[in-house]
Amino acid sequence: MRLVLLGPPGAGKGTQAAILSEKLGVPHISTGDLFRANIGEGTPLGVEAKQYIDAGKLVPTDVTARMVESRLNEDDAKNGFLLDGFPRTVEQADLLEGILAKQNATLDGVVEFRVAEDVVVERMLARGRADDNEDTIRTRLHVYRDETAPLIDHYGDAIITIEAEGSVEDINARTMAALEALAK
């Protein structure tokens, strides 16, 4: 199954993706995790990305899309994936379509995790990641509203909306039920 996971920062996409990855047997590909791994290893990509991530801004699309394309071309992603954090703009969505077209593949769906803004701020402050301070959180929420939320219209009927407040288990059960309905 080839799925994109959408939702504001702090929506719990990463947590849900880890569980779904296990249940569906497809890799969880998170652009944020890939960037953080590159930063940790001090690669040129990591050095370039860090300044944007620390400011809560988007890393330039050419750099990001190249990283995603090479990851999607790895063997474990050939039959499916959960893409978490990409696309984040309509331009990136078009690039993703092009990357998949080269593999003769298309998305099966786009899961939108819907959460109220005060809940996501609370969750982000609680997890304490390096880019989770109040200023950066505010910037990331703006970026989400302005650049990423338009993807919900862009994907139209492919969107599967999940109410993502409550326990991790409940949210996972809702997501699995929605994906089972999709598979029928």
List residues near ligand AMP by CB under 6 A. Answer: 9, 31-32, 35, 52-53, 56-59, 64, 85-86, 88, 92, 140
SS3 category, 131:
coil
Measured from the CB atom, is 85 or 109 closer to ligand AMP? 85
Is 35 annotated for ligand binding?
no
Give the tokens for residue 21.
Answer: 């990855």
Least distance between ligand AMP and beta carbon 32 (Å): 2
Measured from the CB atom, is 16 or 92 closer to ligand AMP? 92
Q: CB of 23 within 8 A of CB of 75?
A: no
Is 11 annotated for ligand binding?
yes
Closest listed residue to residue 55, CA positions, set 140, 155, 173, 182: 140
Measured from the CB atom, is 150 or 173 closer to ligand AMP? 150
Alpha-carbon span 152 to 146, nearest angstrom: 12
Measured from each CB, the residue nearest to ligand AMP is 32
Alpha-carbon span 33 to 180, nearest angstrom: 27
Annotated binding site: 10-15, 31, 36, 57-59, 85-88, 92, 127, 129, 140, 166
